[in-house]
A and B are shown apart, each in its own frame.
Chain A
């Protein structure tokens, strides 16, 4: 309902396989983010984007890459998934710099066996 969707919502994969999570927004927001959420750690920023082809690293970027080739899509890729990347991943979007308001997707649960 907030104009941001994530896919897939659930995925089980094996160690060493590549995984791509997609975040799609229909609000034309400039800023997009990928967070992971784990017990005891809350939400931790993986990567973020401040425009098409403009991305930067967050707190826990090792093992992840992102791409943003158009405003509406922000892809998170695990080149070779590890069990430590089992988590719930949230995408978010933000409109402007003068507010702390982000709109979050519903999350993608990834299990790496």
Chain B
């Protein structure tokens, strides 16, 4: 697989604690907001998405919060595990016929054992 040594902001958490990863987006017209996880040497992997008409969505151990007032998106990971160590990207999309996803620059999550 491939990976890129990105100079990223890093969040370090203790195993078992909750993690909160934040993202600021730019386009108030975006229809969807998405979180992706990228492990070392692999392509990004979809985690969860949320429509612009929602403010919260829950998945398995993850919750995404959307605050359109301040254009802020967050990903909460409950009971963080070593396997959660990765780079996390937020993305936004305007679902017209073009269906383009625009990615943010990413946050590295390190889980301490």
Partners in one complex: yes
A binding-site residues for B, Cβ under 8 Å = 9, 31, 33, 35, 37-45, 48, 50, 56, 58-59, 88, 90, 92, 94, 97-109
CB distance from A91 to the nearest CB of B (A): 8
Q: Which residues of B contact A104 (CB under 8 A)?
A: 43-45
Interface residues as binary, B21-48 with A (CB distance below 8 Å gives 1, 0 otherwise): 0000000000011100000011111100
| A42 with B6: CB separation less than 8 A | yes
Given contacts A97-B99, A100-B33, A101-B46, 6 further A-B contacts (CB under 8 A): A33-B100, A92-B44, A99-B32, A100-B101, A102-B101, A107-B1
Q: Which residues of B contact A92 (CB under 8 A)?
A: 43-44
CB distance from B37 to the nearest CB of A (A): 11
Within the assembled complex, what's the spacing in Å between the Cα atoms of A9 and B102? Answer: 24
A-B CB contacts (within 8 Å), total count: 84
Q: Which residues of B contact A101 (CB under 8 A)?
A: 34, 46, 49
| Binding site secondary structure of chain B | loop
CB distance from A66 to the nearest CB of B (A): 14
Interface residues on B, range: 20 to 34
| B97 with A50: CB separation less than 8 A | yes
Q: Which 4 A-B pairs have the closest CB atoms?
A: A107-B2, A104-B43, A100-B34, A100-B49
8 examples of A-B residue contacts, CB within 8 angstroms: A9-B2, A42-B104, A45-B100, A48-B98, A59-B102, A88-B3, A99-B49, A102-B101
